[in-house]
Structure 1
Amino acid sequence: MANIEKNNSAFVAYTSRDRFLADLISEGVAKANRKLHNLRYEPWEFNDIAGNPLISPVVDAIDESRFIVADVTYLNPNVVYEIGFSIGRSRRCFLVQHTGTEGDKKIARDVGIFDTLGFEPYETADELANTLTAYVDPAPLPFSAQLDRRAPVYVVEPTTKGGIATVMTSRLKKARYKYRSFNPAEDARLSAFDAIRQVASSAGVMVSLLDGLREESIIHNTRSLFVAGLSYGMGKPTLLLAHATADVPLDVRDSVRTFTRPDDIVTHIAGFSLEVTEHLQQADPTPLCHPTSLQSLQIGDPTAENEMTTLANYFLNTDQYTRALRGEVNLVVGRKGAGKTALFIQMRDKTRSDKRNVVVDLKPEGYQLLKLKEDILAHLTQGANHHLVTAFWEYLILLEITYKLLEKDRVLHKFNHEIRDLYIDLERTYRVKDFSVEGDFSERLLSLSQRIAQDYVCRFGGTDSTKLTTGQVTELVYSHDVRSLRDQVSAYLAHKGGVWVLFDNLDKGWSTQGVDTVDAMVLRCLIDAGRKIERDMRKCGHAVHCIVFVRNDVYEHLMRQSSDYGKEMRVALDWTDPDMLRELLRLRLVSALGPVYENMTFEQIWPRLCVSHYKGEETSSYVIERALMRPRNVIKIFSHAKGFAANLNHQKIEESDLEKGVRAYSQDLLVELDHELNDVFPIARELLYHFLDSQPEVSPLELRQIISEATISPEDTDRVIDFLLYYGIVGVRASPDEVYYIFNVNYDLKVLQIRAARGGENTRYVMNSAFRPALGIKSCD
């Protein structure tokens, strides 16, 4: 050790949970050290020094290392944190994984971080020693980003939201900090490169640890610890929250902030906000000395919520957007990743640009209505349910319009004699006893639904098939004199322009057991309430528009439950033209590359950033073909491939980078679609994994055999096949040169059903190329 200079050592991190594996790693490290003369591997036990702060020896070892080696066969929480910390400290992190041990490989696939970083497999101590004695590039992963001052905080959200998660995000809003987030409802897996980029551009990072050993908790905690490691390594203000009863890993035990009640979180975020403010006052980080064009290229985020401050720079104005902006629709329908939230954000910002307009943008989530659903709706008759929920939504919309008017003119009314008295009267009517006006919309919705549920239980108990009179509904729902409130809002709107009430996210957080009739009823009542308010206000001469953004499978469920919902004015965000996706990507590239590229076509820009062909196929077509015609997926594939290219200092995306990027995206898609199928079709749980190692094309009999292996009953098989077709997972081969997927037939499932029926047993079902890398399916094309 005395002859080993600083930075001629490499820290080795691994779990001691599996004694056999720990001994194998120790043996492999010892063999590697005997072969090397200018580098020494130091296993983590050497840094476990009694009397030191828990993390201190690890920090010192990482700082003094040329690079870090970490075994990810098991996702030990401390090792996960150390991987993130090492990358944040600008140390190369070289990952290895034992092929003969299952360990936490399934968890790793769902988490998403480690396969996007890449790892080397080994089976024996000798193989590990050979890997460690081969050349390891010590160059750190590149990260250098300007602070995002408009949305300076990054949050890792838990899969299942509840009161605590609501407090976390709402208090950030109260601190007037916009935030970007990883939301598992939007992205099934977290890319390491995206996490690095997000943390690097943040002035503060907020993560939480969940208690318990459920798989969902382990997945969330793994992501949180990796991001926390990145943040601490980069020296960012970091708030790591955990319940006082949670089992906290040793490496973060000294820095975690515990809570037992919501007020504790409020206190922690208050201190965190001051740290963020101080960090924002510092200079931006020093940029890379000689970044490649790819390393400095930022084309936006696949998740629209994280692009609120930049989306206008590259938003593609589609016909659907124009129609919605003209107020011609009350529903915007689309698949996940089709751009509903992007359209929502752009509509909100465009209508807000006219200061006369009143824009109420609401993003409720299903869990906020859970109390209402469990304590009331399960016990009422169908008619009483519809009456109660419609009244609930109408009341809520009216309250939120009032809240927005009061918020918008809090200062203005003092200097405008036309609205001064109207404002004072409206505020007096709005602020009533036992009605909370604090917090953001999520908190107000949660508080209102819980108050109604508690009042119902007090009055009616848990009796089933309860009928409610109009008077009982009024007493239960309203805390205000609604007639006076409505009249005062109407009088106030005479001094305003149009009113836009935009609803997004209602279908997020709905039961993993699928969309049920109660969920559909809640959505139907929201649409009814919105139309009623539109009609009432328009009678008084006010232009009011209520638009709901919803997944298309939820909309179709709604259609099946109602005989007249085909009459709803709606636009569908269905992408069928590959050139539209190229234009979407071109706009993002132009925004990132600068005005010199503004008048260039996609065909002129693309070859400067990406190799023109992959195994003879034009690369933009190769990407779009695997994107299921969803804008988010195009951005994901490009971002993954760019990340691998930037990691290796390539000047443009090469064939190998594109192949790695598609493989990482394929794993993302597999996890995401498996969850999405489970949400809307619970009996298909983990169905996609039964296609592992299958042929790229199968006959109807072979497809049914695969489905039966997933323990799906024969009577449900046809419905499952329809879902595989509907989601673009499989297509139907019509000729040797032509395969039809759902997006090739204008999303008309009936076309695919008839084509498959015509072929009979000669029909060939083709697995979409997007899923083949993750499922180990060899392409035949």
Structure 2
Amino acid sequence: MTVEVEKAFVAYPSRDPALASVIANGVAKANRMLGKRLRYTPWEFNDIAGNPLISPIVDGIDASKFVVADITYLNPNVVYEVGFAIGRSRRCFLIRHEKIEGDRRIAREVGIFDTLGYDTYNDDDELSASLTAYVDPKPLAFSTALDRLAPVYVVEPPGKGGVVTVMTSRLKKARYKYRSFNPAEDARLSAADAVKQVAGSAGVLLYLEDGDHDTSFIHDTRSLFVAGLAHGMGKPTLVLAHGSAETPLDVRDVVKRFTRPEDIIEHIASFSLEITEHLQQADPTPLRDLTPLQSLQIGDPTAENEMTTLGSYFLNTDQYSKAVRGEANLVVGRKGTGKTALFLQVRDKTRADKRNVVLDLKPEGYQLLKLKEDILTHLSQGASHHLVTAFWEYLILLEITYKLLEKDQNAYKYNHEIRDLYLELEQTYKTEGYSVEGDFSERLLALSQRISQDYGQRFGEADGTKLSTDQVTELVYSHDVRYLRQQVSAYLAHKQSVWVLFDNLDKGWSTQGVDPVDALVLRCLIDAGRKVERDMRKDGHVVHCIAFIRNDVYEHLMRQSADYGKEMKVALDWTDPDMLREMLRLRLLSGLPDGSESLGFDQIWPQLCISHYKGEETSSYIIERSLMRPRNMIKMFSHAKGFAANLAHQKIQETDLEKGIRAYSQDLLVELDHELTDVFPDSRDLLYYFIDAKPELTSVELAELVASAGVELSDVNRVIDFLLYYGIIGIQISAEHIHYIFNVNYDLKVLQIRAARAGSSATYVINPAFRPALGIIDPD
């Protein structure tokens, strides 16, 4: 009887002939040693165009016991195959050459591959040893239940623009909610999260940029991995690319090309039908024998991706209570502290009363780009403030009108009290010169572009232009605003209250380096919101305008105008570790069986994680490294849980926690390095100069280290302030006490003064959260 030889597919790039030779020799040696037990089939990928060869590759993966892929260089086809193999429920064994730099930096920014784990080798003998050792063929386990409330997953590119606006707005038009990976929110994409998101999707929407910059390559690498996952799992997948873009061989036949927005609309129209068909099918049979960790879902670190589930585990804080009572104009907080989560809960709470009119508006900076470039850079400061305030006031009024018409588009037919008011308001709103099509982002983009175009025709590009009130009115308004306001006021007599919630406006702005024009735009938005509130209050109506912004942006506004210290604001500053434990407890409960609601954190935690690590209680160990931000705590737990689930552990073990914190540390490092580069463009990779540094540094040592990264001497102190502000470093107060920014109520001046008093004897401590990624050894 002939025993069929088991096979393993080996994918690797041909970019480096010497490396390709090492891999080919290593595979050949392994095959000779293994004999008939296992046969490796090498597949070398060229980085040049050629005929698509996807069919034999798919067949090779399907016939393999497991798949080996070399990621020294991130060949796009290899990346796709890694995702495809995982989607096909094949174990993917990753390898990379230890001494070749290759695409190490790109892989670090992408985030997928170090969260999967890989073996390293230096020559063909070491590679052969790895291949002949036992490779566990057990694939990653993942739930196959569909998320029917938000069935589409989108990988967003780093640069927002018309393509992304059309993509997401058409999904909304199709009435499909979506979850997304947003690089502005998460610096890196973990493999476990990508698998979870694709597995729960009835459709995956991707866009290949094919740009020359690293950011485009990083985005395309993530997109190709996700495309491979989706195709491997048999998910409806739409991969968009510009008509002239070069695309990898493996996806060339499935990419849908476009040259104009109408092409995207057509592609998504067809894609929507595929999603519907997939949703109409019964949920696949869930995998059996999942461990509690493998089946546990605790939500997503990014609030936008858990709109439909957030209410079941949201922690009702005092800040939330104040916002929902209308006691705040501003909600401020650092990235990852829960601004968007609070935004969503305030929206849902107020929207639950059908008598309320709720606008959840998420403008983004790029939608105002034409306004900034074509107008605000040429106007005097007074004229800019006048014009932008009028712009926001007009937009808020239009959006309230739009929401009233949308909300009552059926009800007015059967309600004689509002019928005539509705028809009059509709006639006034649909005036010539104003586009009412698309979602809010499209209407905002169209309005700002129309004003920019009109301004250019009237005033050209002269600097220092001053505009009269009449000129601003003619430039901004397409409606008779006074008459429209009167009609809206009359209509609101039949409503209870209006809530105008703004989020995302500061997304993508440089941290601590806010453009003065951006600050003006935000300041005018707040002023316009207050003016709308006052005007409507005179007529007896209740209107609340709340903006959700970053701490550093608010502080910039404070420096520009003392009036903003008088704003009604709530600050999302987390300082109590027990509050973070309660936040995590609520999420853990949502993923545990019914009947667990009364369990305390100390009862739940030991069921899911070892109690101590290196002598420290594990929840305290995680919180200490979270920078007191909920998102970071969720990320850390999710990473550790992912490693434990991959190995079918019943609870998170020491090795899982160590790997999870290392992956999270890398996330933090990439994210903060990007933010530092925004403020100091010449300081790219500065944080990487801390690699192998001592955990404790004198003020002289810290200054020398910062200067060694190429930072100008005049900027060294500003960079150190940045490191303190973001909790990257703290100040040693005593042998037992270290003060980071969250230990002093987020007041940077406290740390600055303590450092100044200590002078040259000041000791700075690198936060333990960053040490694994930087190779810094913790002191005993």
**TM tier relative to shorter chain:** over 0.9
Pairs within 5 Å for 1:484-633: 484-510=483-509, 514-633=513-632
Measured against aligned partners, the alpha-carbon deviations of 1:224-249 in whole angstroms (never above 9, x if no partner) come to: 00000000000000000000111100
1:10 aligns with 2:8: yes
Q: Residue 24 of structure 2 corresponds to which residue in structure 1?
A: 26
Amino acid at match of 2:366: Y
2:45, 2:739 → 1: CA distance?
59
1:637 aligns with 2:636: yes
1:461, 1:685 → 2: CA distance?
38
Q: Residue 371 of structure 1 corresponds to which residue in structure 2?
A: 370
The residue matched to 1:257 in structure 2 has which SS? strand
The residue matched to 2:328 in structure 1 has which SS? coil
Measured against aligned partners, the alpha-carbon deviations of 1:349-395 in whole angstroms (never above 9, x if no partner) come to: 00000000000010000000001000000000000000000000000
Amino acid at match of 1:677: L
- 8 Å Cα contact 1:12/1:41 also seen in 2: yes
Measured against aligned partners, the alpha-carbon deviations of 1:80-134 in whole angstroms (never above 9, x if no partner) come to: 0000000000000000000121110000000000000000000000000000000
Stretch moving more, 465-474 or 705-714:
705-714
1:232 aligns with 2:231: yes
- 8 Å Cα contact 1:294/1:651 also seen in 2: yes
TM-score by length of 1: 0.98
Q: Residue 204 of structure 1 corresponds to which residue in structure 2?
A: 203
Closer/same/farther in 2, CA of residues 4 and 484 from structure 1, 3 Å limit: farther
Amino acid at match of 2:65: R
Closer/same/farther in 2, CA of residues 258 and 203 from structure 1, 3 Å limit: same
Q: Residue 738 of structure 2 corresponds to which residue in structure 1?
A: 739
- 8 Å Cα contact 2:14/2:46 also seen in 1: no
1:424, 1:133 → 2: CA distance?
77
Pairs within 5 Å for 1:278-357: 278-357=277-356
1:471, 1:341 → 2: CA distance?
38
- 8 Å Cα contact 1:513/1:681 also seen in 2: no
Closer/same/farther in 2, CA of residues 413 and 551 from structure 1, 3 Å limit: same
Stretch moving more, 430-439 or 305-314:
430-439
Stretch moving more, 141-150 or 748-757:
748-757
1:633, 1:129 → 2: CA distance?
39
Stretch moving more, 743-752 or 694-703:
743-752
Pairs within 5 Å for 1:380-529: 380-510=379-509, 514-529=513-528
Closer/same/farther in 2, CA of residues 329 and 51 from structure 1, 3 Å limit: closer
2:698, 2:3 → 1: CA distance?
63
The residue matched to 2:582 in structure 1 has which SS? helix
Amino acid at match of 1:356: R
1:282, 1:144 → 2: CA distance?
17
The residue matched to 1:202 in structure 2 has which SS? coil
- 8 Å Cα contact 1:4/1:38 also seen in 2: no
Amino acid at match of 1:309: T
Closer/same/farther in 2, CA of residues 252 and 513 from structure 1, 3 Å limit: farther
Give structure 1 stretches of 5+ with no counterpart: none
Closer/same/farther in 2, CA of residues 760 and 45 from structure 1, 3 Å limit: closer
The residue matched to 1:574 in structure 2 has which SS? coil
Q: Residue 190 of structure 1 corresponds to which residue in structure 2?
A: 189
1:91, 1:323 → 2: CA distance?
50
Amino acid at match of 1:190: L
Amino acid at match of 1:673: L
User: What is the Cα deviation at residue 676 of structure 1?
Assistant: 2.2
Stretch moving more, 752-761 or 303-312:
752-761
Pairs within 5 Å for 1:707-746: 707-746=706-745
User: What is the Cα deviation at residue 510 of structure 1?
Assistant: 2.9
- 8 Å Cα contact 2:510/2:675 also seen in 1: no
- 8 Å Cα contact 1:85/1:229 also seen in 2: yes
User: What is the Cα deviation at residue 211 of structure 1?
Assistant: 2.4
2:51, 2:240 → 1: CA distance?
24
Pairs within 5 Å for 1:163-182: 163-182=162-181
User: What is the Cα deviation at residue 680 of structure 1?
Assistant: 4.3
- 8 Å Cα contact 1:4/1:40 also seen in 2: no
Closer/same/farther in 2, CA of residues 52 and 102 from structure 1, 3 Å limit: closer
User: What is the Cα deviation at residue 514 of structure 1?
Assistant: 3.1
1:508, 1:105 → 2: CA distance?
28
- 8 Å Cα contact 1:11/1:61 also seen in 2: yes
- 8 Å Cα contact 1:10/1:67 also seen in 2: yes
Measured against aligned partners, the alpha-carbon deviations of 1:468-508 in whole angstroms (never above 9, x if no partner) come to: 11011001000011011100000000000110000000001
Amino acid at match of 1:212: G
Stretch moving more, 82-91 or 684-693:
684-693
1:312, 1:404 → 2: CA distance?
24
2:694, 2:64 → 1: CA distance?
46
The residue matched to 2:167 in structure 1 has which SS? helix
Amino acid at match of 1:540: D
- 8 Å Cα contact 2:347/2:360 also seen in 1: yes
- 8 Å Cα contact 2:210/2:220 also seen in 1: no
Amino acid at match of 2:246: D
Closer/same/farther in 2, CA of residues 427 and 583 from structure 1, 3 Å limit: same
User: What is the Cα deviation at residue 677 of structure 1?
Assistant: 2.5
User: What is the Cα deviation at residue 146 of structure 1?
Assistant: 1.3
1:53, 1:685 → 2: CA distance?
38
- 8 Å Cα contact 1:47/1:58 also seen in 2: no
1:425, 1:89 → 2: CA distance?
58
1:685, 1:11 → 2: CA distance?
39
Q: Residue 766 of structure 1 corresponds to which residue in structure 2?
A: 765
2:2, 2:519 → 1: CA distance?
71
The residue matched to 1:564 in structure 2 has which SS? helix
- 8 Å Cα contact 1:210/1:221 also seen in 2: yes
User: What is the Cα deviation at residue 340 of structure 1?
Assistant: 0.1
Measured against aligned partners, the alpha-carbon deviations of 1:303-335 in whole angstroms (never above 9, x if no partner) come to: 000010000000000000000111111000000
2:51, 2:543 → 1: CA distance?
64
User: What is the Cα deviation at residue 458 of structure 1?
Assistant: 0.7
1:492, 1:248 → 2: CA distance?
53
Measured against aligned partners, the alpha-carbon deviations of 1:707-738 in whole angstroms (never above 9, x if no partner) come to: 10121122222221111111100001111111
Closer/same/farther in 2, CA of residues 680 and 321 from structure 1, 3 Å limit: farther
The residue matched to 2:562 in structure 1 has which SS? coil
- 8 Å Cα contact 2:338/2:572 also seen in 1: yes
Closer/same/farther in 2, CA of residues 70 and 325 from structure 1, 3 Å limit: same
1:607, 1:253 → 2: CA distance?
49
1:118, 1:616 → 2: CA distance?
26
Measured against aligned partners, the alpha-carbon deviations of 1:6-41 in whole angstroms (never above 9, x if no partner) come to: 7x1000001011111111100000000000021000
Closer/same/farther in 2, CA of residues 211 and 513 from structure 1, 3 Å limit: farther
2:442, 2:128 → 1: CA distance?
55
Closer/same/farther in 2, CA of residues 28 and 52 from structure 1, 3 Å limit: same
1:741, 1:512 → 2: CA distance?
19
Q: Residue 269 of structure 1 corresponds to which residue in structure 2?
A: 268
1:35 aligns with 2:33: yes
Stretch moving more, 217-226 or 51-60:
51-60
User: What is the Cα deviation at residue 56 of structure 1?
Assistant: 0.3
Q: Residue 780 of structure 1 corresponds to which residue in structure 2?
A: 779
Closer/same/farther in 2, CA of residues 731 and 440 from structure 1, 3 Å limit: same
Amino acid at match of 2:24: S
- 8 Å Cα contact 1:502/1:547 also seen in 2: yes
Q: Residue 114 of structure 1 corresponds to which residue in structure 2?
A: 113
1:777, 1:47 → 2: CA distance?
38
Closer/same/farther in 2, CA of residues 198 and 57 from structure 1, 3 Å limit: same
